[in-house]
A and B are shown apart, each in its own frame.
Chain A
Amino acid sequence: MPKLTFYTLGNGDCCLMDLDDGKKLLFDYADKRNRNDKNDRRCDLPSELRTDLNGAQRDDYDVVAFSHLDLDHIQGSSEFFYLEHDKKYQDDTRKKIKDMWVPAAIIVEDADTCGEEHLIIQKEARHRLKNRKGIRVFSRPAVLEDWLKKQGMDLDSVRHLITDAGQTVPGFDLQADGVEFFVHSPFGKRLNEKEVVDRNCDSLVLQVTFACDGNETYMMLGADAPHEILSDMVDVTRAHKREDRLKWHVFKLPHHCSYLSLGPEKGKTKTEPVPNVKWLFEDQGQEGGIIVSTSDVIPSVDTDLPPHRQAANYYRDVVADLDDEFKVTMEHPNQASPKPMVITVDSLGAKVVKRNTSGSAAVISTPAPRAGAKNE
C-alpha cells in the first residue's frame, strides 16, 4: 500500500512517498536539525533517509520535487544529493535523483541574491534542462521561452519536459501505477480573453490521487502557497469545473500553519479564512480528513513566525468531527519525542499509523553502537 512519511523537521518540509511498485518520491528536503544541539528534537533527516534507502537496497529516488527555493524546503540538499552539474557533489555516499521536479521559477528567477544552497539547486535544475534529461519543469511553456532563447535552446526541444497547471504529470497513471499527480500551481491567471498573468513566484502545488481497489484517496501538497495563490487556484479550478481536483482526504498545509495561507488577518484567537480558502478546507475535505501541519509545536502564545496558534485553531475547528484529525509533525506522537509520521493509504482510505514499535525490533533496525575492549 502507498505510504507517506512526514519527517519531524520543525518548520521544514520533507515527505517521502513510497508507491506499491517500489517507486520512491521525495517532496522537498530540509535538513533543519542543529547537530550541535543535543536537545534538538528534529530528526536527523539524512540519516533517516539513508536508513530507509538501505532497507530498500537502493541509492536513488525516482523523483525529488522541490516545491520552491526557500531554505525550509531545500536546506542541506547540496550535501545529501548526487548532483550532476558538478563533480564535487558526486561522491558515492550521495543519493541520486532520477527525475527532478521544479517549478519554472527555480529555472528562470535570479537566485543570486538568495544564498548558496539556492544557487546550487538552480544550477542543477538548469543543467538538467539543458541536457534535456532527468527534469520536469512546472509552468506554462511560454514562461521558459526567454530563458531558453538565452541558452540558445528551442522551446519545442524541451516541451515534453514541461507540465502546465491543469495537467497530470506524465509517467504516472492512476490505473497502472495507482497514483496520479494533478498540477495546480504554478499557473497562469487569465485576466481577460487575451492576457494571462503568470504567477512566476508560485511554488509547486499538487493534488495526488491514490487508487486502491477501486477507491480513490486524495492528498493536497500545499507547498508554501499563501491565501492569495490558494484563492486564485480555487477560482481557476472552478472556472474549469474541476472542483474534484480540490478534494482532499489528506492536506499537507501550506507554510507550516501560517495564518497567511488562510487570510490577510491573523485574528485574535482564530484566523478567518478568505471565502475561497474556507471553501477549500470546509467543503472539499472528505470524511475522516487528515490535516498535516509540517511545523514546530503549535505555540500557546502569539508569535510572528509560523506556526500561528490562530491558524491552528481554525484547522482544529475544521477537524472538529471526531473522525477527522489535525496532526502537527513536531507533536507526533508527542511533543517530548516526536517521530516521523507515517500515513498509509489503502482501499479504506488514509490512516495515520499509530504503533508502538517493539524494542527488540528497533534494536535490529539500526546499527548497534560501537563496542570493544579499547575505546577509540
Chain B
Amino acid sequence: MSDRYISLEGKVIAPGKLRMSKAKDMVRALRSGLLDWVRLIECRRVDSSARIQSNDEEDQVLDVVIFDVDVEVPQRKVFDIHRVERIAVGFSALDKNYPETVALREDFPLVPHRNIRLEDRPVSLCLFDEPYSEIKLRWTAQWFIECIRTWLAKTATGTLHAADQRLEPLLLPSTVSLVLPSEFITDVDDKISERLTVFPVFSGPDRYSLVARRSDSLGGMEATKTLPQFVTTVIQGDPQPHGIIRRHPRTLRDLHEFLRSANIDLLSTLRERLRSLREDKRLLDATLIIIVILPKTRDVSGRVEAYDTLAFMLAGLIDREQTRADKRPEGFLKIREVGRRVGVWEPSNGVLGALLPMDVSKQGDQITVGMLNPCFTLTRQRAARLNGLATRYDKKITAVGAGALGSQVFLTLIREAFGEWVLIDKDLFLPHNSARHVLYGIMVGYAKVEPLADIANDIIDGKPIAAAVVADVLDPGLAARDVEKGLKEADVIFDFSASIAVARHLSHDVDSAPRRISVFLNPSGSDLVVLAEDGERRTRLASLEMQYYRFLTLEPALRDHLRGADGKIRYGLSCRDLSSTISEEHVALHAATASRALRRVLEQEGAAIAIWEADDEDITVKTFRPPPSPTVEMQRGDWTLCTDGYLMDKVRRLRSEKLPVETGGVLMGSFDMQHKIVYVVDSLPSPPDSQERRTSYIRGNAGLQEQVEGIKKITGGHLSNVGEWHSHPTGYGCAASGDDRKLFRWIEEQMARDGLPPVMLILGDDGQAGWHVGRILD
C-alpha cells in the first residue's frame, strides 16, 4: 500500500538553482543529517496556480521544496494523518508573506485548520496565527520544519486547536473584513435588508474594511442622506455538522453548488429578492453583499451550538490584472448588473425590463465571488472571555465619581464587560483633566460621565452597558430621583470620588443595601487604597476609613503615605487625590491594580482594607492588607459612638495585664461633627509617670504630647486624642464612681474649648465596657 501524491508541475531544478535564501536554507537543513524524520524529495520552480499559490501577489513564480516528513501519530487517530506525509513549501523571492505550505497526498483529509484555496487539494496548511513579520524574527528552516511536523502530529491527535475554532482564511489574498453587529445572527431577516447600513472604511488606496451597523442605531439623517453604497441580503441554511465551504468558490454558480448541501437554493433566492428591488432606483447602483448563516451542530442530529457566517461580494468575470484593480469596493458588481447576469431583468432604453419568466439559464457563471471575512462586534461574553474570565460579573454597579482614577478603572472593567453600570458625577471635563483622564479633546465641556458612558457602550455591543447621571451626589437637585435610584438599585456602589465627604455620605446618609467600596490614591499618587464594606454592611466605609488611618500609624513603611508630592502633609484638608500633582504613570498603574482588586473583592463577602505602595524608583508594588475589625456601634444621646473589636480587645487585654491595679490612657480617634459620630480606634500606652493603684488610676503625661503629634502627622490630622479610658479592678463593674464623674467633668471642660464632646470609657469585670459620650450615662 502506498500513498499517491499530487504533482505540482513546473520543472525540477537543482537545489543550487533556488533563488530564495529561505528555500536554500530549507534544503540545507533537510540534507544536513542534523534533523531526523525528514527526507528531501526534490526542488521545483513552478508558476503560482490553484495547486500551489504564491502568497505575494507581485511574484507569481515559486521556488518549491518538496520533502517527506515522518509524523508522530497515535494509534487511534482523530484525523487520518499518515506516518509519512509529503509536503511542498513554495517560496516567493519577495518573502513578504508566508511561504505556501501544502500537503501533497491526494487523499489528505480536509482538516479544520487549513487555508481556503481555489481547490480543496492539495490542502494548504494554516500553520501560524501570527503575522509573518513576527514569524520572520524567529524563522529558521529547522524551526519551520518542526512547525510543520508538529502541525501534522497535533492534527492527528485533534489537539491543534479548540474543536469549534472557526476557519481562519488568513492567507486569502483578497481578505476584506466585514464587521457585523454581534446580535445580528439571532435576528435574521429573509429580505434584502436595509436594516444594515454598510460603510467602507479605507486605510489606504486599496485597503479597506466594511463596517455594518444596524440602520436603526444610526440617526435617521445618516441612514438616508446618502445613497446606500452596499445592500446586504441574508440567507440562512440548514444546521450542519461540518463546514461546507471546502475551497474558495470561483463563481456564483460554484457558490450555489456549495450551498445546496445546506439546503439553500442560492440562485432562486437571489432572483426572488432582486426582483422586488427593480423599482427602487436608490438600491440598483449599490453593491450586493450576500451573507450566509449556517447553524452548526456538533453531530448530525445535534442541537445548534454555533453559527458559521460567510459573506460574499460579486464581481464580473475578469482577468487577473483587473481583479487587482477591482479590489476597491466600487470594482464590484452593482445590483443592476447582478440582476442581469442571473436573468432577472434586461436593460432596455435605460430602464430595467423584468423578464417574465426569469431567464434561469443564466446561472451566475459570469459572476466571480469575492469572499469577505466576517467578524462581529464585541459582546459582553466575548470581552469577558478574551480577558480570561470564565464567568462574567453581570450585576449592577453604581459608580460615584469619574475622575482620573475612576475613569481608568471604569474603562478597564468595561473592556472585561464587568458589571452593568450607572455613573454619577457632576464634573465637567476640562482641558487640564486630559493629563490623566481617559477622555480627551473633543469631549471638553461635557459632563465627564456622558462621554464615558458613550465610550463604554461603543466598546461593548448590545444593550447599553453604562448609563450616565449628571449630578452631585451630595446635592443632586433635579437629578435626585436618578441618583437615589442608582444608589438603591445597585448591587454594589463604587466610590471613586476621592472625597471623604462623599464616602461618609455614602456610608451613613444613603439608606440602601448595596455594599460600598472606596477606591482612591494617596496625595502623591504613589499608593492606592481600597476600602470595601462586607456584603451585609456590618463594617461600614467610615469605620474602614478610621481603621485605615490606624494602620498607617502601626505600619512604619507607610509613615509618609499621606505626604503630598511636595513633601508636605496638608492638615485639615481632604487627604485624597484632588487636582494636585500626580503622575499619570501612577494613575495607570493603580487603575489596573484597582480593577483587579475590585473584581477580587466582589468574589467574596468579607470587608477589606488594602493598600498598594508603589516604589517611586522602580515601580515595584508592595501590598498591605490589614484585617478589618468588626465595627462596634452604639448611641449615646445625640452622639453615635463607633469603635471596633481591635480597640476593645486591646483595652481589655491591658486591664487584665495590669490587675490587680487599675490602668488607663488616652483614646485616639476622630469626630464627625456633621453626623455626630465619634470614632475611637486606638489607645496610647499608659504614660510612665501614671499612678496605677488598686482602685485608682492617675494618667501621667510623660511623652504623651509627642506621641499624639506623631500620630496626627502620620494621619494628616485624621486621628487625634478624643478621650480617656481607665479600668476598674476585679470585683467592680463599669459604673462611674464619684472620681470618674469628676474626671469626666474635667474632660468635658477641656474639650468644650474645641467645641467637642467629652468621651470616657470605663472597663470592669467580665469585659464590661461603659462608654460615656457628651454626658455620664447613669
Listed in ascending order, the chain A residues whose CB lies under 8 Å from chain B are 215, 217, 249, 286-290, 320-323, 325, 333-334, 336, 346-356
Instruction: Report the bound CA distance from A319 to B539 in whole Å.
Output: 74
Residues of A within 8 A of B149 (CB): 354-356
State whether A336 touches B75 (Cβ < 8 A).
no
State whether A353 touches B72 (Cβ < 8 A).
yes
Instruction: Report the bound CA distance from A217 to B83 in whole Å.
Output: 19
Residues of A within 8 A of B722 (CB): none
**What is the 8 Å Cβ interface bit string for chain B, positions 62-74, against chain A (1 contact, 0 not)?**
0000000011111
State whether A320 touches B37 (Cβ < 8 A).
no
Instruction: Report the bound CA distance from A352 to B156 in whole Å.
Output: 13
Instruction: Report the bound CA distance from A76 to B77 in whole Å.
Output: 40
State whether B76 touches A288 (Cβ < 8 A).
yes
Residue from A333, A346, A351 within 8 A of B73 (CB atoms): A351
Residues of A within 8 A of B73 (CB): 288, 323, 351
State whether A348 touches B76 (Cβ < 8 A).
yes
User: A333 with B72: in contact, given A320-B1, A348-B157 (CB under 8 Å)?
Assistant: no
User: A321 with B142: in contact, given A287-B76, A288-B74 (CB under 8 Å)?
Assistant: no
User: A322 with B36: in contact, given A287-B76, A356-B146 (CB under 8 Å)?
Assistant: no
State whether A351 touches B82 (Cβ < 8 A).
no
State whether A354 touches B74 (Cβ < 8 A).
no
Q: Most B CB atoms within 10 A — which of A249, A320, A333, A353? A: A333
User: A354 with B71: in contact, given A320-B1, A321-B1, A336-B33 (CB under 8 Å)?
Assistant: yes
Question: With an 8 A cutoff between CB atoms, is B35 at the interface?
Answer: yes
State whether B76 touches A333 (Cβ < 8 A).
no
Residues of A within 8 A of B78 (CB): 348
Instruction: Report the bound CA distance from A356 to B38 in whole Å.
Output: 10
Residues of B within 8 A of A351 (CB): 72-75
Residues of A within 8 A of B74 (CB): 288, 346, 348-351
State whether B72 touches A349 (Cβ < 8 A).
no
| 11 A-B pairs in the complex with CB atoms less than 8 angstroms apart | A288-B73, A288-B76, A323-B75, A333-B37, A348-B77, A354-B36, A354-B37, A354-B149, A354-B153, A355-B149, A356-B146
Residues of B within 8 A of A334 (CB): 36
Question: With an 8 A cutoff between CB atoms, is B299 at the interface?
Answer: no
Write the chain A residue with the least CB distance to B157: A348
Write the chain A residue with the least CB distance to B77: A348
Residues of B within 8 A of A356 (CB): 35-37, 142, 145-146, 149
State whether A349 touches B75 (Cβ < 8 A).
yes
Question: With an 8 A cutoff between CB atoms, is B3 at the interface?
Answer: yes
Write the chain B residue with the least CB distance to A321: B1
Write the chain A residue with the least CB distance to B1: A322
Residues of A within 8 A of B157 (CB): 348
Say how far A44's CB is from chain B's closest CB, in angstroms: 20
Say how far A102's CB is from chain B's closest CB, in angstroms: 31
Residues of A within 8 A of B2 (CB): 322
Write the chain A residue with the least CB distance to B71: A354
Residues of B within 8 A of A352 (CB): 72
Residue from B35, B75, B84, B153 within 8 A of A288 (CB atoms): B75
Residues of B within 8 A of A287 (CB): 75-76
State whether A333 touches B36 (Cβ < 8 A).
yes
Say how far B285's CB is from chain A's closest CB, in angstroms: 57
Say how far B118's CB is from chain A's closest CB, in angstroms: 29
State whether B3 touches A322 (Cβ < 8 A).
yes
Say how far B3's CB is from chain A's closest CB, in angstroms: 7
State whether A322 touches B83 (Cβ < 8 A).
yes
Say how far A214's CB is from chain B's closest CB, in angstroms: 12
Residues of B within 8 A of A355 (CB): 72, 146, 149
Residues of A within 8 A of B3 (CB): 322
- The 9 tightest CB contacts between A and B, nearest first, are A349-B75, A288-B75, A348-B74, A333-B36, A354-B72, A351-B74, A348-B76, A349-B76, A354-B37
Say how far B765's CB is from chain A's closest CB, in angstroms: 60
Number of residues on chain B facing chain A (CB within 8 A)? 25
Write the chain A residue with the least CB distance to B38: A356
Residues of A within 8 A of B35 (CB): 356
Instruction: Report the bound CA distance from A334 to B39 in whole Å.
Output: 12
State whether B76 touches A354 (Cβ < 8 A).
no
Instruction: Report the bound CA distance from A114 to B33 in whole Å.
Output: 43
State whether A215 touches B83 (Cβ < 8 A).
no
Q: Most A CB atoms within 10 A — which of B3, B37, B73, B149? A: B73
Q: Which of B14-50 contact A (CB under 8 A)?
A: 33, 35-37
Write the chain A residue with the least CB distance to B73: A351
Instruction: Report the bound CA distance from A157 to B245 in whole Å.
Output: 72
User: A350 with B146: in contact, given A322-B1, A322-B83 (CB under 8 Å)?
Assistant: no
Say how far A140's CB is from chain B's closest CB, in angstroms: 35
Residues of A within 8 A of B1 (CB): 320-322
State whether A323 touches B83 (Cβ < 8 A).
yes
Q: Most B CB atoms within 10 A — which of A217, A325, A356? A: A356
Q: Most A CB atoms within 10 A — which of B75, B76, B146? A: B75
Instruction: Report the bound CA distance from A97 to B347 in whole Å.
Output: 93
Q: A349-B75, A350-B74, A351-B75 are in contact. List 11 more A-B contacts (CB 8 A).
A: A215-B76, A288-B75, A288-B77, A322-B2, A322-B83, A323-B75, A348-B75, A348-B78, A349-B76, A354-B72, A356-B145
Residues of A within 8 A of B76 (CB): 215, 287-288, 347-349
Instruction: Report the bound CA distance from A344 to B142 in whole Å.
Output: 24
Say how far B148's CB is from chain A's closest CB, in angstroms: 12
Instruction: Report the bound CA distance from A351 to B146 in whole Å.
Output: 17
Write the chain B residue with the least CB distance to A320: B1
Residues of B within 8 A of A323 (CB): 73, 75, 77, 82-83
State whether A217 touches B75 (Cβ < 8 A).
yes
Residues of A within 8 A of B70 (CB): 333, 354
**What is the 8 Å Cβ interface bit string for chain B, positions 246-286, against chain A (1 contact, 0 not)?**
00000000000000000000000000000000000000000
Say how far A80's CB is from chain B's closest CB, in angstroms: 28
Say how far A128's CB is from chain B's closest CB, in angstroms: 37
Residues of A within 8 A of B82 (CB): 322-323
Instruction: Report the bound CA distance from A256 to B1 in whole Å.
Output: 27
Write the chain A residue with the least CB distance to B69: A354
Instruction: Report the bound CA distance from A193 to B549 in whole Å.
Output: 94
Residues of B within 8 A of A347 (CB): 76
Q: Most B CB atoms within 10 A — which of A249, A336, A351? A: A351
Write the chain A residue with the least CB distance to B153: A354
Residues of B within 8 A of A217 (CB): 75
Write the chain A residue with the least CB distance to B159: A348
Q: Most B CB atoms within 10 A — which of A287, A321, A348? A: A348
Say how far B107's CB is from chain A's closest CB, in angstroms: 11
Instruction: Report the bound CA distance from A322 to B4 in whole Å.
Output: 13
Residues of B within 8 A of A333 (CB): 36-37, 70
State whether B75 touches A249 (Cβ < 8 A).
yes
Residues of A within 8 A of B72 (CB): 351-355
Say how far B238's CB is from chain A's closest CB, in angstroms: 32
Write the chain B residue with the least CB distance to A339: B36
Residues of A within 8 A of B33 (CB): 336
Instruction: Report the bound CA distance from A155 to B146 in whole Å.
Output: 58
Write the chain B residue with the least CB distance to A215: B76
Residues of A within 8 A of B75 (CB): 217, 249, 286-290, 323, 348-351
Instruction: Report the bound CA distance from A245 to B471 in whole Å.
Output: 80
Instruction: Report the bound CA distance from A322 to B153 in whole Å.
Output: 16
Write the chain B residue with the least CB distance to A217: B75
Instruction: Report the bound CA distance from A355 to B699 in whole Å.
Output: 81
Instruction: Report the bound CA distance from A167 to B128 in whole Å.
Output: 51
Q: Most B CB atoms within 10 A — which of A215, A321, A323, A336? A: A323
Say how far B38's CB is from chain A's closest CB, in angstroms: 8
Say how far B476's CB is from chain A's closest CB, in angstroms: 61
Instruction: Report the bound CA distance from A354 to B35 in whole Å.
Output: 11
Instruction: Report the bound CA distance from A288 to B74 in whole Å.
Output: 8
Say how far B30's CB is from chain A's closest CB, in angstroms: 12
Write the chain A residue with the least CB distance to B143: A358
Say how far B702's CB is from chain A's closest CB, in angstroms: 61
Instruction: Report the bound CA distance from A25 to B734 in whole Å.
Output: 75
Instruction: Report the bound CA distance from A137 to B70 in whole Å.
Output: 41
Instruction: Report the bound CA distance from A282 to B78 in whole Å.
Output: 24
Instruction: Report the bound CA distance from A349 to B73 in whole Å.
Output: 10
